[in-house]
Every structure is written in C-alpha cells, then in structure tokens.
Amino acid sequence: MATVEGLSHDRRHIPDRRSSSRGHASSSKRMGAMDWIAMVLLIVGGINWGLVGLFDVDLVAMLFGEGSALGRVVYVLVGLSALYSIYTSSKMSRAR
C-alpha cells in the first residue's frame, strides 16, 4: 500500500510564490506624500468635472468664488497633479 508521506516531504521544498521578488506586492513601492496629494487633487478635479457635466455646478468656483485667485490655484494644482500622474505612470510602465 502506498503512503502519502513522500508527497508531503516534496511539498516543503516548493518555494512560496508570495515570497518571490517577482510578486506584485513585494515589488511595488508604497505611495509617498506627493503621490497621495496628487491622488486627492485628481479626485477633487474629477468630482468637480462630474458636477459640471451633470448639473452645471462648479464646486471650486462656488467655494472660492468665480475667477478668484484661490480657485485658479486649485485648478492649476489639479492640472499639475494630472501631469505628475502621467509622469509616474509612464515611469512605472517602463520599470516592468
């Protein structure tokens, strides 16, 4: 009668895929402060554009005033965060 003990012994020598350096979780970096700021600004910009498209409501202009300097700063920061995200995503795609 055959025993199963030989199979369990062989199984201990199979490397765990989760500990591999090729795995997605171990090779990805954590998001830094700049990445988080860019993501928050992109979310704010996306919500604002969604409100403009759906309801013709510009939330940034409503909060900071139509054509105000602070509103323009928010728009510029959202645009810069989009450019930063394009840069980081292209850098990530080249690394693979």
This prediction's pTM: 0.67
Instruction: Give the per-residue SS3 of 27-64.
Output: HCCCCCHHHHHHHHHHHHHHHHHHHHHHHCCCHHHHHH
Please tell me the least confidently modeled range out of 22-31, 65-74, 84-93. 22-31
| Mean pLDDT rounded to a whole number for the chain | 83
**Does the structure show a pLDDT above 50 at 50?**
yes
> To 10 degrees, what angle do helices 33-55 and 69-95 make?
120
pLDDT for 15: 61
List the domain boundaries for the chain. Answer: 27-95
Position with higher pLDDT, 13 vs 81: 81
Q: How confident is the model at residue 24 (pLDDT cuts 50, 70, 90)?
A: very low
